[in-house]
Amino acid sequence: MTDRVIVGAIAGAFGVKGEVRLKSYCTNPEDIAEYTPLYTEDGRAFPVIVLTGMTKNGLTARMDGIVTKEDADALKGTSLYAERHVLPTLPDDEFYHADLIGLEVFDTGGTLLGAVRAVQNHGATDLLEVHKAGYKTTILLPFTMANVPTVDLTAGRIIADPPEGLFPDA
């Protein structure tokens, strides 16, 4: 899946005629229809997506092969991926979440803090979920310029200056 980036998810049925509720993770939510074909993790392709409207927390759409409410409900929670090459090129200070996952995180002194397991957002800012080998829990590091001054995708690492006490043993 490294050549594909998650761009949204099917949130269930909308009505009884095969329309779906669609969550878009794109900066401009409607752009999701421009990145077709979209794929599921198991490789199912949706070559055409026609946006039909908006609903609370998402869009409504018709997708190839989904013709009944039951078809739509069966796909509820399914993530949708676009080919990386159809997505816009980002400025130097922006990143696709998929590019951050797996990067090692070091503090400004060179100590390994762990690796990025996921990127989350609970409303205020993105959070890097950092896991260190041997630890049972993960640390949520705010993904801000103050806390994460350097992201080096070429070297596969992040330099962090976390708030005091956020990382035990660091």
Say yes or no to pLDDT of 1 above 60: no
What pLDDT does 63 receive?
Answer: 96
Same-domain pairing of 63 and 9: yes
91 within domain boundaries: no
Q: What is the mean pLDDT of residues 24-41?
A: 93
Q: Within a domain: residue 167?
A: no
Nearest to 46 by CA among 36, 34, 31, 32: 36
- 103-112 pLDDT, tens digit per residue, is 999 999 999 9
Coil vs helix vs strand at 30: helix
CATH number at residue 12: 2.40.30.60
**Using an 8 Å Cβ cutoff, are 129 and 140 in contact?**
yes
- The per-residue pLDDT of the chain, averaged, comes to 90
pTM, two decimals, is 0.73
Q: Considering the domain boundaries, does residue 30 fall inside one?
A: yes
81 and 41 in contact (C-beta within 8 Å)? yes
The Cα–Cα gap between 56 and 70 comes to: 21
Q: Give the 3-state secondary structure of residue 132.
A: coil
Say whether pLDDT at 122 is over 80: no
pLDDT at 123 over 80: no
Task: Give the sign of the dihedral formed by CA 13, CA 19, CA 23, CA 25.
Answer: positive
Please count the structural domains in the chain: 2
Q: Is the pLDDT of residue 3 over 80?
A: yes
Residue 73 parent element (H or E):
helix 69-74
Domain that holds residue 135: 97-160
* Same-domain pairing of 28 and 77: yes
Joined together, the tokens standing for residue 5 give: 């980036």
